[in-house]
Each structure stands twice: as C-alpha cells, then as structure tokens.
Amino acid sequence: MNIQNQTKSLQMDDYLDLLNYATQMKDEAWRQSILEQMRSCAAKSVQQEELPARSDLWVRFDALNDELLELFKQLKEETDLKVKKKVTEQIWQLKYERVTISRQLESIVNAKPSSA
C-alpha cells in the first residue's frame, strides 16, 4: 500500500470514528455532515483513480486513429488484392477496438456522480 492510499485509509478511519462518536452523542446534524464529507472524499478518490484509466484510453484511441490513417493510405496505394484484403481486415479489427474504447470512455463519463 503506498503512502497516498494509507493516508486515504487513515482519513476514512478518522471519519468513521467521528461518525461513531456523533451517533453516540445523538447529534444528527453532525452525523449527516460527517457522512457528506465521507461521500465527498470517496467521490474524489474515485475520480482520481479513473483519470489515469481515462487518459490511457484516450492515448490508445489516438494511436488507433493514427494506425487507421496509415492503413487507409496503404490500402489506397496497394495493387495486390490479397494484400488489400489483409489490410481491410486489419482496418475492421482496429475499428472494432476503437468502438470498444469509445464505449469504455462513455461508461466512465456516465458513471460520474452528479453534484447536487
């Protein structure tokens, strides 16, 4: 466990201790405040974890586009039908992978918690 994860874990432990104490004191306003802070902390943690994954997906998406452009150029210049068929198959595979990445990116965007 790295330092950042340990810090988050200790922070959550502190929130849980405070929540327990607020419950024992029967202070509902304080308890709700602590719960809201815990939700906020958890949401920030999720956003920080998804940023690298999202960034990696965009890098791969851009690389796929570059590969597709090269294959389209090759397809345009190629005269051998067997090679053209092989290049066309590669294009379809890359397009399928690009759609898969698009769906992953869309699920990340749609999974973001709404701020109310």
The whole-number average pLDDT for the span 34-59 is 79
Give the C-alpha separation, 63 to 98, whole Å. Answer: 10
| Residues 22 and 30: beta-carbon distance below 8 Å | yes
CA distances from 30 to 27, 39, 113 (A): 6, 14, 23
Please tell me the pTM assigned to this model.
0.53
pLDDT digits (tens, 9 = 90+) for 32-46: 998 898 888 877 776
